[in-house]
Structure 1
């Protein structure tokens, strides 16, 4: 979902490049969730096909601003959703948003660093980890503890971005073609959105793999708000690109990020939205 260390860099051991800009990150996450809502609903619907019965307790690991928690609460109306995050500010925002959407009695927040210990949240029927596991220093330990805390037959869904989102055409009319591709190559070298294939890790923790699937979207014209999402995404990546990207590419990128430039990403009519997710569903026997 975004060019930071992960789509929800909220539980992790590794520093979030924007950890001192909580409001900016929160806005970026909410923009992403709004624009990718159909894709994320498709993911949740697929996960729901693997759930046995109606879950009573759903846990969102690394809930961030709560877009996943709210989606899960709507998809499973009889469930209590427990949103776990280490950021008090993001949890406060999550409670406010859930309350505004009439979900205050369905969504409970727990502030916890999942690198320390699995919190006491009761028996879990469905776990949801969206771009949060790879942020942990010891994800295998957490998976074992989560497995132990799940009801028999419970399900865990692990969701990752299959690649950083892309917005720009190959040739943007200024500079060398392929700017966004080169930006993504630099970010990959910096280990942005790096994650393992989770299947073996889930099985080693005691889960039985129930399914794995990729979801994707490619849209033009783009949904409303995509320009703002692209602008915030590229701006958030700029510090990581500054010392690694070629000087001519940096000049073009700064041109794209200038609010008053006619070719700025905020004003372009040639954006193309390309984004995707990869999902593992694993069951506790």
Structure 2
């Protein structure tokens, strides 16, 4: 996430929940009247967590191999609705999580979800802009930053704060995405439409999110962290499609439709409309969707 999910208005890059993360949510999207939740971001983050749960489980397994069994304090940096928080609480049953986000609404939603899962006593929240440090957070065994670092104005300063929050020997797990997921069949009209839309979004993001696609390995090393693992993986969801796949695609296309007004041709806008208008081509009615997302991860340690 969040997050914070690219579906933000122009100044929302200051809110770490968009990653979640978002996982690659297009900046400056304008919600349409049919979106039942404000900005749609919380629902997108929750659907992302559900659809990609097996991949996330595999990732937390890799983290556990490096972090070891003695993980007691985890920090979820840009926690959004709690995708990372809950996955890591499950992976590390003796740990507690400090969920950090700049959005009070996201933190309230996460707190409610933790109570509903019987995990309220293992989660505390901290409303903070991670770019300004992590006040009161010390001796963390593990910091998780999923699709959040590229939203920060000064990643180097944020990483210095993360290093200070980690105990010696503690681990930082960074996950980033290469943009919004792909949904439509590759090749032909739908696939070409998606390629053009992603290219337009990339141009907007280069302006508004200058650290997206940064060389995080170098930045982690410059912050005094030792990179122990770096990997890029293609996460996919194929038929039989899990429940919620069409809704997930719909929310993405609905959001980018507002973002791309004036940045793609009128023909492409009309094609996007057909993907969300309730007709036969609407993504909620299609059985040919394949959700594809490239996730890059870096696991880095504060030297002991």
Which residue of 204, 207, 217 maps to 1:190?
204
Matched residues in 2 for 1:143 and 1:252: separation? 41
1:112-139 Cα deviation digits (max 9, x unpaired):
1123332212311100000111100111
Structure 1 residue 162, shift from structure 2 partner: 3.4
**Among 266, 271, 280, which residue is 1:247 paired with?**
266
2:142 alignment counterpart: 126
User: Does 2:121 match 1:105?
Assistant: yes
8 A contact 1:12–1:115 mirrored in 2: no
Q: How does 1:134-153 map to 2 (within 5 A)?
A: 134-153=150-169
Count residues with an aligned counterpart: 279
Structure having greater relative contact order (Cα 8 Å, sep ≥ 6): 1
For residues 150 and 162 of structure 2, what CA distance do their matches in structure 1 show?
15
Contact kept, 8 Å, 1:231 with 1:266, in 2: the verdict is yes
- 157-166 vs 61-70, which moves further: 157-166
The gaps in structure 1 that reach 5 residues or longer are none
1:195 to partner: Cα distance: 2.6
CA 1:234–1:3 in 2, change beyond 3 Å: closer, same or farther?
A: farther
Of 13, 28, 38, the match for 1:17: 28
Change in CA separation of 1:159 and 1:19 when aligned onto 2, cut-off 3 Å = farther
- The two structures have a TM-score, normalised by structure 1, of 0.90
Contact 1:169 1:272 in 2 (8 A): yes
Distance 1:96 1:223, change over 3 A: same
Query: SS in structure 2 opposite 1:60?
Result: strand
Larger mean Cα displacement after TM superposition, 48-57 or 190-199: 190-199
Q: Residue 216 of structure 1 corresponds to which residue in structure 2?
A: 234
2:277 alignment partner in structure 1: 258
**Higher percent of residues as helix:** 2
How far apart, CA to CA, are the structure 1 residues paired with 2:57 and 2:294?
13
